[in-house]
Amino acid sequence: MNETNLETLRHSASHVMAQAVQELFPGVKLGIGPAIENGFYYDFDLPEQLTPEDLVKIEKKMKHIIKQNHKFERVEMKKEEAIRLMEEKGEKYKVEILSELEAEKVTLYKNADFVDLCRGPHVETTGKIKAFKVLSIAGAYWRGIETNPVMQRIYGTAFEKKEDLDKYLENLEEAKKRDHRKLGKELDLFSIHEEAGTGFVYYHPKGATVKNTLENFLKEENLKRGYELVSIPHIAKIDLWNTSGHTNYYKENMYFMQIDEQDYVVKPMNCPGHILIYKRKLTSYRDLPVRYFELGTVYRYEKSGVLHGLLRVRGFTQDDAHIFCRLDQLEDEIISVLDFIHYIMQVFKFDYEVKLSTRPEKYAGTIENWDKATAILEKSLQDRNVPFEVDPGEGVFYGPKIDVKLKDALGRVWQGPTVQVDFNLPQRFDLIYTANDGSKQTPVMVHRAILGSIERFLGALIEHYAGAFPLWLAPVQVSLLPITDSHLDYADKIAQQLQQRGFRVEIDKRNEKIGAKIRNAQLQKIPYMLIVGDKELESETVSVRHRKEGDLGTKNIAEILDQLCQDVDNRA
């Protein structure tokens, strides 16, 4: 079944659901019921609050309707006539939609006694809907506008075949198991504390190890590519943010404080800081491009309801860089950022999709510059044979951008790297460089982040790997499992040898049987377990067990070190 048909099927299912709800709860007012990416929903205005039990009833009723195999009939009528019909039925939301339609004639779809305003198309009969499930209830503003009344939205999904539905439901289960908040607790990675403030992350030793490993990796990769490390304070006087314009268009997200009758801001972004560093001296055209990199921690106030584990927080660290260059250098810079992104993404085995966002209605700078920059972004993508889609008008007001969406092991999509051209800040801060003719010119600025926020990326990584980090990232890389207490000294000796080579090692010294120690190490998703008993002690070896491959047999120290080094090098 192709996508259009699946959409039709799901949309038809949403009609059936609305019909079921209407039969079960007379007096319900209908909102809208579209097909969405993984299913469909329908919004209802109901005096009583729906419960999970109601969902079961609704699903039953739907099955009944489907069994009766009603025909979906297309009815065309004049708009006024349709408005009258919906007014009679008391469907005020439908009337609202209809009166905003410009067409003279509208279509309605009818199955049995149920009529709904709808563009269609639909499957021929309700009986065509075979594999479906009602999933959940949630509140949703009418037409998505915050000031509108809240409706009850019921989500469901439908597939052509039962196998597809089952697979989807299994996928949902798998996603639940991989939830980074659950794994974060189970693997002792991080916590968020009520008394310290929601949205602020505390990394435990293991989580901090992963974060630190990621950060070191990024630093090295940035240095390799000609970026220079900078570092800026977390607080700056409000004047800086007045110049940058943030106090204007970003103030809802900023933390303010007053000290000695001076207003200060906790930085929500790093760019103004990097700009001050650029401005410390006169820059020659020969010095460009200047590339400043920082693991910059920023603080942004986010509405309480949007916070979500590591994925949406109030304090986070960006792998942020700002490139100051001449317009004629822009293309090369963009291309090398694209290569950089590609390299990093394949390290983590993420597939990705690319979007090019163009000029929005409100914008800073000249149209000529916008067109030039957009053309350069486009050309760079073509140059590297990166397939991309254009998101018209989705650029930031200060310049066009390239957004990269990561696809994880379950096929879910995450916001990833971003590359943004900026004409606005160089002007606001009067950035200049001296051109070869001695004139003062304004450089172009590029904002880019590869991982985006370390917090969000780490959250995505946990789910991508289901908590089983590859060896180079694993907080504990090797667990030594002595068979009995008499092997503790030997385990210590091996551990020291591995530690000296830079590996993160742990010894399970508990008075437990080997089965229990293995189980614990497996649950902690530790890549390598080294079992040591009498045999190993005598022969100066270890028994190697890999968390995925199981028993790998006996190896001597040189062999296991070799294997570990290989895995780290391959980032396997």
Closest approach, Cβ 394 to RNA, in A, equals 10
Angle between helices 162-178 and 454-465 (to 10 degrees): 130
Question: Which among 322, 487, 517, 525 is annotated as catalytic?
Answer: 322
Q: How far apart are CA 242 and CA 559, in angstroms?
A: 60
For residue 124, CA distances in Å to 11, 119, 450 come to 12, 15, 48
Query: Quick one: 114 or 241, whose CB is closer to RNA?
Result: 241
37 CA to centre of own chain: 16
Query: Quick one: 379 or 509, whose CB is closer to RNA?
Result: 509
Residue 394 near residue 358, CB atoms below 8 Å: yes
Closest approach, Cβ 99 to RNA, in A, equals 22
Closest approach, Cβ 552 to RNA, in A, equals 8
CA angle at 258 for the pair 256 and 264, rounded to the nearest 5°: 55
Query: Quick one: 316 or 350, whose CB is closer to RNA?
Result: 316
Alpha-carbon torsion 531, 532, 533, 539, what sign?
positive
Burial readout 441-461 (b: 16 or more C-beta within 10 A, e: otherwise):
bbbbbbbbbbbbbbbbbbbbb
Find the radius of gyration of the CA atoms of the chain. 29
Closest approach, Cβ 69 to RNA, in A, equals 31
Closest approach, Cβ 246 to RNA, in A, equals 13
Residues 6+ apart with CB under 8 A from 460: 180, 311, 406, 408, 414
Question: Which among 153, 206, 291, 447 is annotated as catalytic?
Answer: 447
Query: Quick one: 181 or 219, whose CB is closer to RNA?
Result: 181
Question: Which among 271, 319, 403, 517 is annotated as catalytic?
Answer: 271
To the query of whether residue 128 is one of the catalytic residues in this protein, the response is: no
Query: Quick one: 291 or 517, whose CB is closer to RNA?
Result: 517
Other Cβ atoms within 10 Å of 97 Cβ, number? 18
Q: How far apart are CA 332 and CA 328, in angstroms?
A: 8
To the query of whether residue 447 is one of the catalytic residues in this protein, the response is: yes
Q: How far apart are CA 402 and CA 338, in angstroms?
A: 9
Q: How far apart are CA 80 and CA 84, in angstroms?
A: 6
* Strand extents, DSSP E, 17-71: 29-30, 35-36, 39-45
To the query of whether residue 300 is one of the catalytic residues in this protein, the response is: yes
Query: Quick one: 306 or 558, whose CB is closer to RNA?
Result: 306
To the query of whether residue 415 is one of the catalytic residues in this protein, the response is: no
Question: Which among 61, 178, 300, 359 is annotated as catalytic?
Answer: 300
Query: Quick one: 294 or 536, whose CB is closer to RNA?
Result: 536
Binding site for RNA (CB under 7 A): 49, 136, 138-141, 144-146, 150, 152-153, 179, 181, 185, 192, 194, 197-199, 300, 302-309, 312-314, 316, 318, 415, 418, 449, 452-453, 455-456, 483-486, 510-516, 518-519, 522-523, 529, 531, 533-536, 543, 545, 547, 550-551
To the query of whether residue 322 is one of the catalytic residues in this protein, the response is: yes
To the query of whether residue 546 is one of the catalytic residues in this protein, the response is: no
Closest approach, Cβ 208 to RNA, in A, equals 18
Question: Which among 19, 22, 152, 318 is annotated as catalytic?
Answer: 318
Closest approach, Cβ 254 to RNA, in A, equals 13
To the query of whether residue 204 is one of the catalytic residues in this protein, the response is: no
Question: Which among 319, 320, 403, 508 is annotated as catalytic?
Answer: 320
Question: Which among 29, 401, 448, 545 is annotated as catalytic?
Answer: 401
Catalytic residues: 271, 300, 318, 320, 322, 401, 447
